[in-house]
Amino acid sequence: MSMFPHVTIIVLHWLNDQRTQRCLEALQQLDYPQYRIVLVDNGSHNGSLERLRASFPSIEILALAQNYGFAGGINPAIRAALATHTDYIFLLNNDALIAPESLRLLIAMHQQNPHIGILTPVAVYEDEPTRRAGLGFRIHRYECELIGWDERDEPEQQPHPIVLDAVFGTAMLIPRRLFERVGLFDERFFFYYEDVDLCVRARAAGFVVAYTPHVRVFHAVSASTAGIRGLRFFYLGRGRQLFFRKHRSAWQRVVYRGRELYKLFREAPFRVKYEGMANVVGYLAGSLAGLIMPVPKDR
């Protein structure tokens, strides 16, 4: 592989072209010499894609007929990229911004640590960059423990990646060989937990999942679903149930289902106070949907 391997950057767009425009403008300022940008429109049909096409005539666009969720939207672009000579896929949320040197630093980190399968920068809030917007997860038998959420961001200059069980899909650098070995994102998740699922599959195949402490991505958290009450919580609940049911044995799934049902209805009255009725109802509905769906089998 050359000093500057080729990178395909994939950005998924849905409705909000103002955020996508800022993301693409930042990407065009990268100081890395070998990359192309692919913009995937997830069935917006509101005129936003046409505006983006006019503003960025040189960027490749993949327009999908409808909203297929994160995994279903990203996968066609990944397949197309793997059919070319690209060495890496870099996935970036359209509500995230990176600095000009970010991709160069991520590639350098991966070349020094080729055993890494998924590498991500530290996510900080766009409107409060001294506060972290999550690093990733430690995965326990029946829980996902958030790491680095709402913590003060302490700049770290150490050149070593920090290993976690899973990282967020906000910004992921992934070598092509990972997809060739473990496959693409599982589209049954639609939205949320497809990133955690890919990390677990990557680790099972012998890859390492990590973040690099000296690179930042600025994230407007959950901007895509902020205007639709309960939607984010519905898919968070649904994705959680599918994830644990997919990655646990038959008897563990039985125990998990009982624990979740008890926990959901015991905590619901208290969560209304902090999250609002619409979000709690959304989470309950999504969780119940995930618990009664057929148990997914590994692909």
Task: Read off the pLDDT of residues 33-51 as tens digits, 9 standing for 90 and up.
Answer: 999 999 999 999 899 999 9
Sign of the alpha-carbon dihedral angle for 40, 173, 83, 246: negative
pTM over 0.85: yes
Tens-digit pLDDT profile for residues 110-143: 999 999 999 999 999 988 989 999 899 999 999 9
**Of how many residues is the chain composed?**
299
> Which burial class, exposed, middle or buried, applies to 187 when counting CB atoms under 10 A from its CB (0-12, 13-18, 19+)?
middle
Q: Would the pLDDT of 181 be above 90?
A: yes
Tens-digit pLDDT profile for residues 233-254: 899 999 999 999 999 888 888 8
The CA-based dihedral angle spanning residues 149, 151, 157, 159, taken in that order and rounded to the nearest 10 degrees: -20
Q: Decide: 12 and 75 in contact? Cβ < 8 Å.
A: no
- Return the percentage of the chain with pLDDT > 70, whole number: 93
Domains within the chain, CATH numbers bracketed: 7-225 (3.90.550.10), 231-292 (no CATH)
Q: Would the pLDDT of 56 be above 90?
A: yes
